[in-house]
Amino acid sequence: MSARDKAISSTLGYALLGLLAREERSGYDLTQALKNPVGYFWFAQHSQVYPELARLETAGLVAHTLIEQADRPDKKVYRLTDMGRAALSAWLNADTELPRKRDELVLKAYSIWLADPAAAARMMREHAQTHAAHLAEFQSGLSNLEGEAGAALWQPDSPWFGVHAVLRRGIGYEREYSEWCEWLAQCLEGTEKGSP
Amino acid sequence: MSARDKAISSTLGYALLGLLAREERSGYDLTQALKNPVGYFWFAQHSQVYPELARLETAGLVAHTLIEQADRPDKKVYRLTDMGRAALSAWLNADTELPRKRDELVLKAYSIWLADPAAAARMMREHAQTHAAHLAEFQSGLSNLEGEAGAALWQPDSPWFGVHAVLRRGIGYEREYSEWCEWLAQCLEGTEKGSP
DNA sequence: CCATTCATGTAATCGGTTACATGATTCT
DNA sequence: AGAATCATGTAACCGATTACATGAATGG
């Protein structure tokens, strides 16, 4: 009844809690995790992570232990508290609003009729390749996971299942995006048949 | 050499220029357009649109005419200037950075192993339906466009082609999203076989 | 009668990015 | 010699959301 009434944290807070639910980590580790495929759908800089961790600790959702290190800087290793676990659970059950998409490339596509078709096609091919590369990364990530996790990959109460679900989303997203770029490039090139 | 050196506008500015390249509009109309499928990949509130239009006008990229109306509030109808068209063109040719994705539902999927599977499955089914509804909207939008635009739909120098490209992206995006939600729901339900 | 549409703005706030700041160790 | 990794913070800024503000006409 004390801290549960007001939704203490921003979405970033829950991203951090979700990572800490798996294992203890420092602010630095958390920031790294948000760069990897797993945190691919919620990015943050370290300058956002450290203050957020402080807020979560004030709210009693996480706690830290200072680890003194000889040849490296000391670090604060954070862990989830029982209240933190409860807050995470409550967030999972709450309604989720649709994200507002903002994609500059799609916005450019809307005005692409004003551009030089050949140059635009080249641009789209580049983006197709970028997304194809991301796709390949996710796919190899899933392969590795199969080796590591085995059957746990398909068990909804296993932490591996969470990674699995996110990777699947990444694979679908990048595949679709890459194909769209390719399709657009082909449309644009269709016009320029006679060029040498 | 006067206004081209510094990239005057934010991405929102180019979104507005892209709309005005097709036809003259008021700030109100522009805000509405950003709610429709066409502006689906770059949303903005009117409180952002009006100041941005003022900035664009100061920079000489748009100009407005005041239209006095009898039974409705007067309005300012904006049009693209030559400088505005040039700025739009330059933006189209410039490099496009990848958007940082932020999707709360995918973030929840990462922690879904902590949730009740049945409740989580229900949640995912709901989202699958939402995205399926968006998909249907985009598909009917494309059908309507075929009727309106005909062959121009496939001509890269036609404004219809821009709409076409964005709708295709919307269709692919929503289909993939909806299918992922369905897949997840089925995985989660797979566990709960024995429940009455 | 009340909500919605048309129409344009301003102000407060907040989440996120970029830049500032420090410093030891290890790799190239 | 210089860059990268580990490690933690603060400060300035900017883009975006929510709320404040006004007001006539139309539709349910």
Q: Which residue of B has its CA nearest to A16?
A: B107
Whether residue A118 lies inside any domain: the answer is: yes
Whether residues B109 and B186 fall in one domain: yes
Helix (H) or strand (E) holding B195: none
Confidence class for position A192, pLDDT limits 50, 70, 90 = low
Q: Which residue of B has its CA nearest to A91?
A: B108
Q: Does residue B149 form part of some domain?
A: yes
Q: What is the pLDDT of residue A6?
A: 43
Integer Cα distance of A34 and A32 in angstroms: 5
Task: Name beta bridge partners: A102.
Answer: B42
Residues B184, B126, single domain; the answer is yes
What's A26's domain CATH number? 1.10.10.10
Residues A24-68: pLDDT tens digits?
999 999 999 999 888 889 999 999 999 999 999 999 999 999 999
Give the pLDDT score at B74.
Answer: 94
> Tens digits of per-residue pLDDT, A66-115?
999 988 899 999 999 999 999 999 999 999 999 999 999 999 999 999 99
B59 and B37 together in one domain: yes
Q: Out of B101, B127, B191, whose CB is closest to A41?
A: B101
CA dist., res. B69 & res. B37, Å (int): 29
The whole domain housing B75 covers 11-93
Is there a single domain that holds both residue B87 and residue B108? no
| pLDDT at residue A12 greater than cutoff 50 | yes
Instruction: Output the distance from A120 CA to D24 C1' rounded to whole Å.
Output: 47
Give tens-digit pLDDT for A142-182: 999 999 999 999 999 999 999 999 999 999 999 999 999 99
pLDDT of A191 above 90 = no
- Answer yes or no: do B79 and B124 share one domain: no
B57 within a domain of the structure (yes/no): yes
- Determine, yes or no, domain membership for A117: yes
Touching check for B101 and chain A: CB below 8 Å? Answer: yes
Flag whether A98 is in a domain: no
Range 130-149, chain B: CB under 7 Å to any strand D atom: none
- A196 part of a folded domain: no
pLDDT at residue A16 tops 50 = yes
Instruction: Let me know whether B19 and B89 are in one domain.
Output: yes
Classify residue A99: in a domain, yes or no: no
Q: List, as ranges, residues 102-161 from A with C-beta within 8 Å of B.
A: 102-117, 119-120, 123, 127, 130, 154-161
Last residue of a domain, one of A64, A93, A122: A93
Query: Which residue in the set B43, B110, B162 is minimally distant from A111, CB to CB?
Result: B162
CA–CA separation, A81 vs A63, rounded Å? 7
Low-confidence ranges of chain B (pLDDT < 50): 1-6, 194-196
What's the number of domains chain B is made of?
2
Q: Is residue A33, in this structure, part of any structural domain at all?
A: yes
Q: Is the CB of B32 under 7 A from strand C?
A: yes
Task: Give the whole-angstrom CA distance, residue A84 versus residue A60.
Answer: 7
Single out the residue in B93, B116, B151 at which a domain terminates. B93
C-alpha–C-alpha distance, residues A131 and A134, integer Å = 5
Residue B37: per-residue pLDDT: 85
Reply yes or no on whether the pLDDT at A7 is more than 60.
no
Determine if strand C comes within 7 Å of the CB of A12: yes
Residue A133 DSSP label? H
B20 and B57 in one domain?
Answer: yes
Last residue of a domain, one of B42, B67, B93: B93
* C-alpha distance from B69 to closest chain A C-alpha (Å): 31
Q: Are residues A117 and A72 in the same domain?
A: no
What pLDDT is attached to residue B118?
A: 96
